[in-house]
Structure 1
């Protein structure tokens, strides 16, 4: 940390990755606990490195400074080591700013999320400029992003194997319970010994996935009309593709770009976010594909233009789609952003990562809707 970087941070507002504190006191148990909570919350929050700056009033960012004699890097490191699990990588700097001492605690990006407080087992996260307890789905999302938990292999105990499309499965492999269990499509309940569909099995081969996963749908809004497509992932993609072909009046419009965006959406969406499905807005000016699930931590937009093997939120689902999609849509998968831009050589395609809203948005040119074929 240098003085120029500090000046830039002082011009910023408090948020998930930046916290200003007027005083530095670690003499009581309560003060040590609060510091550990803030460090854990910043480490668990989406984005890169974060900072806690001591000696700055949080209301008006007036620099008041701290007593350098009370500041101990060793004490901070001990707090992190003894209270944060896993320990969080941090850096500590003491700077002279206009004759006053300012301490900057840098919380580096962590690949071991989620972090929790050892003393009470709680997980914390930042909501705006405040520290809060992480919700269940937020903890599960962090576990999944770091390969510690596979959402798709969770058993749906109210979905027996009869809820899977047996004929659809038989087109791709034998309907053998041991084979399906090995692939993670079904799972056996330990207590009853009964086989149930997993969440992943329902996404791939479910007859009516929306009965069990009501947030799994694609909503297409075109003009004043709305169509909602439900079903398993492969059938939804087929149905939306057919629908787009029927309403697009521009023969030269590259619908492959929209289909590519939707294929990316079903692979990358955050299935732990149950507040919404995939949304598609269509007009003559633009098309927006909005996906629940911002880019996975560690992926950056500029890298994804070139990266053929980006970090995936749902690696199990991606691997199974490679195996079971008869249209081979996902064999071409990997350079989705670059490919979508390539379909519109003379037009602008935008990709918007909304981390705070947990959304990823693709915006591309629109097409003329053939109202005579809307059904």
Structure 2
């Protein structure tokens, strides 16, 4: 850390990745716990590396300094390692700033989220400029992003197998090259359990759908998972239309909706459909409070889905990635087999293909908002020009 970089950080406001503290004191157990809590919260929050800067007045950002040799990096690392699981990688520097010593604790971008505080068992993250306890769905989302939890295979014990469309299931099995011979559909349950479509409760032996099974093969998943539909808002008359059903059916219906709506002969409908399909397969399904929203304005079409980019990527990296990490890999592979329109079979970077296809209409914008856990694709062309 040098003075120039420190100057840049001091011009910024506190955020999910930046915290200012007036003092650095680690004399009591409470102070050590608070530091570990703040470090784990920054490590758990979305985005790149973060910083805690010591010797700065919180409100005014006036440089007051700390004692220059009071703490060493090894001591701080030990305090954090003993209280965080898995340990968080940090670096501690001191910078001379107008005759005063400023301490800069760098918290590196973590691929091992979520980090837990051992003494309390709690998980923390940043909300704006404050440290807060992570909610259940936020912890689950971090576990999924780290590959420790597969959302799609979570069982839905309170829902019966009769909520699944057996016709779609048989079609999937046949297209997968699996021999399907049965007198009673129930005889397929062990196979469907192995595929992650069903789950079996150990005590009762009763079968039930998994979340992924319901999303891909269910008659009406939104009756039970209300956040999984897609809403289209036409800004011209503020008309709202909701799409329900299994993922493939929703994508087919939305594609038909836009075919009837858009009259411009050269507008890239295939890439618009691809952007919507991406939202459906890559959204954060642990975010229960929001569905996918497609807004048609006078000048653009905005596709917004819960789920900022995974911790592994920024927008530029994803634009140039031909084999990206997928948040919902189980869903992706089932849809790959079922989707007769082959929306998921295209090679290369999907975002780059979408960006290039719209070049004659204007600039495509990709926005990943970590604080709101949202990803947006904004496509040029609204109801003024293409409808």
Rounded Cα–Cα distance in structure 2 between residues aligned with 1:284 and 1:83: 53
Contact 1:249 1:368 in 2 (8 A): no
Find the partner of 1:351 among 361, 366, 369: 366
Structure 1 segment 102-251 matched on structure 2, within 5 A: 102-173=102-173, 174=180, 176-222=188-234, 223-224=236-237, 225-251=239-265
Contact 2:155 2:211 in 1 (8 A): yes
Relative to the length of structure 2, the TM-score reads 0.93
1:340 matched residue in structure 2: 354
Rounded Cα–Cα distance in structure 2 between residues aligned with 1:81 and 1:321: 42
Structure 1 segment 272-283 matched on structure 2, within 5 A: 272-283=286-297
Rounded Cα–Cα distance in structure 2 between residues aligned with 1:256 and 1:328: 11
Measured against aligned partners, the alpha-carbon deviations of 1:335-364 in whole angstroms (never above 9, x if no partner) come to 111111122222211111111111111111
Rounded Cα–Cα distance in structure 2 between residues aligned with 1:119 and 1:204: 41
Task: Give 1:74 shift.
Answer: 2.5
Cα gap change, 1:215 to 1:127, in 2 (>3 Å): same
Rounded Cα–Cα distance in structure 2 between residues aligned with 1:296 and 1:18: 20
2:176 matched residue in structure 1: none
Structure 1 segment 26-41 matched on structure 2, within 5 A: 26-41=26-41
The DSSP-based 3-state class of the residue aligned with 2:335 is helix
Contact 1:270 1:292 in 2 (8 A): yes
The DSSP-based 3-state class of the residue aligned with 1:276 is coil
Contact 1:250 1:368 in 2 (8 A): no
Rounded Cα–Cα distance in structure 2 between residues aligned with 1:187 and 1:369: 49
Structure 1 segment 293-332 matched on structure 2, within 5 A: 293-332=307-346
Task: Give 1:334 shift.
Answer: 5.0
Contact 1:46 1:355 in 2 (8 A): yes
Measured against aligned partners, the alpha-carbon deviations of 1:191-243 in whole angstroms (never above 9, x if no partner) come to 21111000000110000101110001111111221110000100000111111
Measured against aligned partners, the alpha-carbon deviations of 1:167-192 in whole angstroms (never above 9, x if no partner) come to 11112213621221111011101121
Task: Give 1:116 shift.
Answer: 0.7
2:285 matched residue in structure 1: 271
Would you say how many aligned residue pairs link Structure 1 and Structure 2? 372
Task: Give 1:321 shift.
Answer: 1.5
Measured against aligned partners, the alpha-carbon deviations of 1:224-278 in whole angstroms (never above 9, x if no partner) come to 2111000010000011111111122222222112101111101110101111111
Rounded Cα–Cα distance in structure 2 between residues aligned with 1:369 and 1:172: 41
Task: Give 1:369 shift.
Answer: 8.2
Task: Give 1:368 shift.
Answer: 4.4
The DSSP-based 3-state class of the residue aligned with 2:326 is coil
Contact 1:237 1:263 in 2 (8 A): yes
1:22 matched residue in structure 2: 22
The DSSP-based 3-state class of the residue aligned with 2:340 is coil
RMSD of equivalent CA atoms: 1.7
Contact 1:245 1:255 in 2 (8 A): yes
Rounded Cα–Cα distance in structure 2 between residues aligned with 1:290 and 1:46: 18
Measured against aligned partners, the alpha-carbon deviations of 1:100-152 in whole angstroms (never above 9, x if no partner) come to 11111110011110001111111010111111111001100000000000111
Rounded Cα–Cα distance in structure 2 between residues aligned with 1:142 and 1:163: 29
Find the partner of 1:290 among 304, 308, 311: 304
Task: Give 1:300 shift.
Answer: 1.0
Contact 1:277 1:292 in 2 (8 A): yes
Q: Are 1:257 and 2:276 an aligned pair?
A: no
Rounded Cα–Cα distance in structure 2 between residues aligned with 1:331 and 1:84: 41
Measured against aligned partners, the alpha-carbon deviations of 1:50-78 in whole angstroms (never above 9, x if no partner) come to 11111111111111111123223232111
